[in-house]
Amino acid sequence: MKHNGEVPHLCQLCGKGFVTRSELKKHGLSHTGEKQCVCMTRGKGYMQHGDLLRHLLTHTGENLSVAHTVVRGLQIIQI
């Protein structure tokens, strides 16, 4: 993390700056509305996997430390 206030990665659409390229990429989803993480039970989509994990708790009642399968596009990731 840079502490000098420098934000070298700028959004082409709104001009908002980010320290890392991955933060900029995540921000870009807010402009496209793309929801990469999908609940396989209900088909509900989320932009970030943390939001999907929170939703999955409605199905299981488990805590977040339990591993869940997250779908990102066509790629399945075990977290």
Would you list the domain boundaries of the chain?
1-33, 37-78
Element (H, E) at 78: strand 75-78
pLDDT at 20: 92
Question: What is residue 79's three-state secondary structure?
Answer: coil
Each residue's pLDDT tens digit, 8-65: 899 999 999 999 998 998 898 889 888 888 888 888 888 888 888 888 888 776 655 5
Fold for domain 1-33?
Double Stranded RNA Binding Domain (3.30.160)
Task: Evaluate whether 28 touches 16 at the Cβ level (below 8 Å).
Answer: no
